[in-house]
Each structure stands twice: as C-alpha cells, then as structure tokens.
Amino acid sequence: MPATVNAALVPEKPPADGPHLLDATMFWAPQGCGGVRRVISTKRGALVSRGWRHTLLAPGVQGPGFVDSGGWTLPGSGGYRFVADRKRAARLIEQAAPDIIESADPFTLAWSTLDAARALQVPTVAFCHSNLPDMVAHWVGDRLARRGYGRWAARQAQRYLARVYAGFDLVLAPSLGMTEMLRSLGVRHARHQPLGVSTKVFRPEAADASWRRALLHRLGLAPHTRLLVYSGRFAPEKNLELLAQAVELLGPGHVLIAMGAGPRPPRGRRVITFPPQHDDAKLARLLASGDAFVHAGDQETFGLAALEAMACGTPLVTSAHAGLGELVDGVGRTLTSRRPADWAEAIRATLVSRDHASIRIGLERARSHDWTAVIDGLSQRYLRLLERGALDTDSSHLTRPLLLSGGREWTAV
C-alpha cells in the first residue's frame, strides 16, 4: 500500500483532467521505508493537488492509480523486488496511457519506460536516485575482497548508465556531484534537481520536551541521556555498524535511536531500533527532539532524512561523501573517516558545543528546499517537455519526434 503523505498535499476531491504522469520504480519496499518511496508519495500528492493525474507502476502496489508490475523478491534487500519482464511492464504502461513517463530506477523498468514511450509517442524522464557505479563497486569489491574488481564493475555500470539514459529526453539527479558524474559519462542532458522537505511540518517547533521525557522513561533511560537519531533504510551502504560502534565509545548517557527497516539494522548495547514512521509530524517530533542527527552513508545521492533534520534545527554529523556531504557542507560536521573513534569525537564535539550559526544556515537551506517550490520547479520541467517535446531549447540529443498523447496541450503557468 502507498506510504502516508503530508495531508496538506492531498486534494479533497478527484483532480481535473490535467496532464497524466506515470512513475515507474522497483524501489518500493513493502515496509514503506526508503527515500524513493517518500519522494514519489510526496510528489504524487502535490501534483494531484495541482490538477495533475498520477499513476505509479511498482511491485506489489494496490489501489486506484497504482499498477502492480510484479517482480522477484531480492534476497537481502529489505523487501525490494526486481522486475524482470520488460515487455509486460511496457504493456502495463501503455494501458495506463500517460502523457509523460518517469523512471526512478535504471533497470528493467527504465527500458520498459522507453519501449512504452516510443509506442505512445510521449516524453520520458529518468530520475537518478541511486549511484549505481558506487553500489556495484562496493558490492563486488567487498564480495571478492579485490578493489580492482570493484573498479572494473564500476566502469561497466557507468557504461550501462550512459547507454540507458541516452534514450531519455531528460535525466534528473538530486546532487550537483551526481549531475556532473552523469555528464562526464556523456549524459549531457542531465540536470540538477534537488529534493525537498515540508518546512511546515519539519521545523524546530516540532520539538516536544514532555514527549522526550516520556520516551526516555518508557525506554528506561536516564533523563539526561543524549539521543542520537538516524532515520532511513537499514542497508549495508548506510554504515550503521559504524554509528553503533561510535555510540558505544561515547559510553553511558548516549543512545542511538535508529528508525527504519531493512536487512542490516544496527545492533549494540546503546542502540534502539524503531519501525518506520509514516506520520511526518511524528517523525519531525523525533528529529527535532533529538540531540543530533547522525548518518554515515557514503553512497547517498541526496540525503532526504538529513534535510528533514536540518529543517528541524537539529545538529548534524554525517558522512562527507556523495550527495550527503554536499547537502550538509557548511551546516554540520562531515567526516571522510571510517574510524568509530573519529565519529565518536565528532558527535561529542557537536553535543558539547551547539553551533547556532550553522543551525541558522541549515534552516535557511532547508527553507530553500521546501517541497512547494521544488514541486513547482519539477512540474515546470514536465510541462516544458509536454509543450515542446524537448529539453528547454536544446533538442539535439533527441532521435525521434515527441507528440502529446491525444493532441492535448497545457500551458506552463
């Protein structure tokens, strides 16, 4: 079933007969955990409130506006399913008859998207939510214990991305680093498209001192206990064991609260895990009531949970790598180290000295990423594709004409 979205973004009645966007993704875990699911759920509600129609094609989804693509469960993935039947998925997309199609993963559904778009003569968008070269480099390198094999696998993944993304009319990436990486591979129609946060929900005022006291009491913790918060998937690339080791080094009076789900939950004497929270207001309360937000992931393309913590005015200690480091730079402490002692020291320094100037900068950065503005910009990108059948004024990368289904047109207003 779809994850709960911000009620303010959901319309009270069915939308008008506006443009029809179909999102296709395999990144839709049944636990309702994961950044891609949160992004698509929020975008769906926001676009529908603006008069768009929206369809999601993903494994296991049910209900109006949802199309089950089927798929094989991936062992150790936390519930993700791999869609193998390219032709069937393409037929399902064609039957939905969208005006524009977006693929949120570069695998089978990306090719199905291109197949269906060719048949329907509609434009396509690819959103690069994951760093495939880094993922395969780590996976192959760790499994074979040979960095050389990991680098070889990364090069193959880069060639694959260049090939699949060449067929899309627009490729979006949430960080500048990912955008530049794609362009270096020859995907010159890649554009930077940050993600967002609901600053009306995720804000410093979401902190609740009485709720925090009750939580500590319920967990059997002393009133002065420092709460370090992580929110997201429990996956190997999040390096949660590093956070667990760091909080162990911090000693009594420190606890890591990890909220999420997945195949690799953190474990330790000072670690408490909670299931995913689908109520944004309750998630914001936890983030705003914590003493610091921590995230050691080194393959993040953006860092949605970090942005939500930033909007809550919570100090951040994160990895300096990839999109996470880019987002948090100048706002919180970022580390390149994988040594638990270094992380413990950075967390301790953050807890001892609350940097109000950095928090203020973080709040300003979060407000600039408010979902309302982000969705406005994203919808303008879609409308430009629908109006002109090309990316802005540069159509030299296109190899076929793009026609609006049914001959309909909309104005980008």
Question: In this structure, are residues 175 and 323 in contact, taking their beta carbons and an 8 Å threshold?
Answer: yes
Burial group, residue 364, by CB count within 10 angstroms (0-12, 13-18, 19+): exposed
Query: Splitting the chain (413 residues) into consecutive groups of 10 residues, what average pLDDT does each group show?
Result: 37 63 91 84 96 97 95 82 96 98 97 98 96 82 65 92 97 97 96 97 98 98 97 94 98 97 94 95 98 96 97 98 96 97 98 92 97 96 84 38 31 31
What lies within 8 Å, CB to CB, of 44 at 6+ separation is 2, 5, 23, 54, 56, 65
pTM: predicted TM-score of the whole model, two decimal places: 0.87
Identify the pLDDT of residue 404.
27
Identify the pLDDT of residue 178.
96
Start-end of CATH 3.40.50.2000 domains in the chain: 7-196+370-402, 204-368
Three-state secondary structure along the chain? CCCCCCHHHCCCCCCCCCCEEEEECCCCCCCCCCHHHHHHHHHHHHHHHCCCEEEEEECCCCCCCEEECCCEECCCCCCCEECCCHHHHHHHHHHHCCCEEEECCCCHHHHHHHHHHHHHCCCEEEECCCCHHHHHHHHHHHHHCCHHHHHHHHHHHHHHHHHHHCCCCEEEECCHHHHHHHHHCCCCCEEECCCCECCCCCCHHHCCHHHHHHHHHHCCCCCCCEEEEEECCCCHHHCHHHHHHHHHHHCCCEEEEEECCCCCCCCCCCEEEECCCCCHHHHHHHHHHCCEEEECCCCCCCCHHHHHHHHCCCCEEEECCHHHHHHHCCCCEEECCCCHHHHHHHHHHHHHCCCHHHHHHHHHHHHHCEHHHHHHHHHHHHHHHHHHCCECCECCCCCCCCCCHHHCCCCCC
Question: In this structure, are residues 108 and 131 in contact, taking their beta carbons and an 8 Å threshold?
Answer: no
- In this structure, what token pair is assigned to residue 137? 């480099």
What lies within 8 Å, CB to CB, of 22 at 6+ separation is 54, 55, 56, 57, 93, 96, 98, 100, 101, 102
Q: What is the CATH number of domain 7-196+370-402?
A: 3.40.50.2000
- Helices 280-289 and 304-311 meet at what angle, rounded to 10? 70
Query: How many whole angstroms separate alpha carbon 201 and alpha carbon 28?
Result: 24
Q: Of 264, 263, 234, 266, which Cα lies nearest the Cα of 247?
A: 266
Identify the pLDDT of residue 151.
86
Query: Which CATH superfamily is 204-368 part of?
Result: Glycogen Phosphorylase B; (3.40.50.2000)
